[in-house]
């Protein structure tokens, strides 16, 4: 399998490894491979992480590679093309649906289960699945996030509030608070238990509904400022995916440090998951000018992926307008 390794010049960050099947013809399979090998951004206290590769049924890497190869025909008949052009969050959820329903040791039970109290909707459970060895349903919440770190406020240096989305509308702090206080606890409320018992038992859970377990999958990339040092957010996993961000006026200074044979491509949202095939990469000088023009014309951040042939490595860079961010979400109460 090809590897994606992000490196940062002179910033002291440890390179991180992304295993992806770059030769795979189908984008959905590349995205599934990237998803399964991309660690969660961070771990929340008292909350279990995503199902491990072993729990899914792949104890060894070669077993997953063989499984991916066998999915080609199934992917051909699935309407992935339209999904890849939908919202990134929705597409990400559907990837998890496919994985959990086709992995050797798990089966998908339900998706987007609405929980009602009288006529009011309390919320939704993203995914319910079970494993081969345990019939008890497992509640999995999933989210994919790409956050840029602010070297100055709000909060202390390791504050989750310093990590915000490219549009400045959300933050890692707000997302984690919503997950911890609303999305995960709702599965353990009496209305949720009544809903689950109504249609899960006895078919999937025996005569009595076993206690439900909750998990969180939060993959993505954290982009560190090129012009300043910044510590990882509190609770960040050691192997989380890293990128760089720089202001559009700083790009020439950043680009000076790249090798002359560097290639690049524009990552158009929502296609931000797996690196595209190598054929998509072109010489940096010819690719970067339209990207910089988009940053200025739309006054909005743009993501580029660089490829360094002599290293066989890729690197993600967000280029943002000079006045970015135009707004910063307030820290949660």
pLDDT of amino acid 2: 34
In this prediction, residue 77 carries a pLDDT of 64
Confidence of residue 118 (pLDDT cuts 50, 70, 90): confident
CA-based nearest residue to 325, from 112, 166, 192: 166
Q: Which residues of 312-326 are buried (b: 16+ CB within 10 A; e: fewer)?
A: ebbbbbbbbbeebbe
Query: What distance in Å separates the CA atoms of residue 43 and residue 238, rounded to the nearest whole number?
Result: 10
- Sheet with 213-217, side-by-side order of all strands: 48-49, 213-217, 138-142, 120-131, 106-117
Whether residue 63 is predicted with pLDDT greater than 50 in this model: the reply is yes
Helix/strand/coil for 160: helix
For residue 14, what pLDDT is reported?
29
Of 123-127, 203-207, 217-221, 246-250, least confident by mean pLDDT is 203-207
* CA 238 remoteness from chain centre: 16
Average pLDDT over residues 239-249: 97
Name the band, by pLDDT with cuts 50, 70 and 90, for residue 78: low
135 pLDDT tier (thresholds 50, 70, 90): confident
Q: Does residue 11 register a pLDDT over 50? A: no
Whether the pLDDT of residue 59 is over 60: the answer is yes
148 has pLDDT over 50: yes
pLDDT above 90 covers what percent of the chain? 65
pLDDT, position 265: 97
pLDDT band at 81 (very low <50, low <70, confident <90, very high): low
Q: Per-residue pLDDT for 315 more than 60?
A: yes
Q: How far apart are CA 292 and CA 282, in angstroms?
A: 15
The pLDDT value recorded for residue 177 is: 95
Residue 134: pLDDT band with limits 50, 70, 90: confident
Over residues 10-27, mean pLDDT:
43
* Cα 7 from chain centre: 19
Mean pLDDT of 209-228: 92
Tens of pLDDT, residues 157-177: 999 999 999 999 999 999 999
Does the pLDDT at position 288 exceed 50? yes
Mean of pLDDT over the chain:
87
């Amino acid at each position: 399998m090809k590897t994606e390794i992000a490196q940062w010049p002179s910033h002291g960050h440890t390179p991180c490894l992304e295993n992806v099947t770059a030769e795979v013809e189908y984008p959905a399979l590349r995205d599934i491979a990237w998803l399964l090998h991309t660690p969660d951004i961070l771990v929340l206290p008292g909350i279990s992480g995503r199902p491990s590769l072993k729990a899914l049924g792949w104890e060894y890497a070669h077993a997953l590679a063989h499984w991916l190869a066998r999915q080609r025909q199934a992917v051909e008949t699935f309407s992935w093309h339209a999904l890849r052009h939908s919202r990134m969050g929705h597409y990400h959820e559907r990837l998890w649906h496919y994985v959990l329903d086709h992995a050797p040791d798990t089966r998908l039970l339900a998706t987007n289960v609405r929980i009602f109290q009288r006529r009011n909707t309390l919320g939704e459970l993203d995914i319910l699945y079970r494993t081969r060895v345990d019939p008890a349903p497992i509640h999995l919440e999933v989210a994919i996030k790409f956050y840029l770190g602010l070297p100055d406020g709000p909060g202390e240096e390791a504050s989750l509030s310093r990590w915000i989305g490219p549009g400045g509308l959300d933050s890692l702090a707000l997302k984690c608070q919503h997950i911890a206080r609303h999305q995960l606890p709702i599965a353990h409320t009496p209305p949720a238990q009544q809903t689950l018992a109504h249609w899960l038992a006895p078919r999937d859970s025996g005569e009595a509904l076993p206690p439900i377990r909750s998990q969180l999958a939060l993959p993505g990339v954290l982009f560190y400022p090129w012009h300043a040092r910044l510590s990882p957010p509190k609770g960040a996993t050691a192997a989380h995916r890293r990128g760089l961000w720089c202001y559009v006026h700083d790009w020439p200074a950043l680009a000076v440090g790249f090798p002359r044979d560097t290639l690049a491509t524009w990552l158009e949202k929502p296609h931000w998951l797996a690196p595209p095939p190598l054929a998509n990469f072109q010489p940096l000088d010819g690719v970067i000018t339209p990207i910089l023009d988009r940053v200025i014309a739309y006054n909005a951040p743009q993501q580029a992926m660089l490829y360094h042939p002599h290293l066989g490595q890729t690197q993600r860079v967000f280029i943002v307008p000079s006045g970015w961010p135009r707004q910063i979400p307030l820290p949660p109460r």
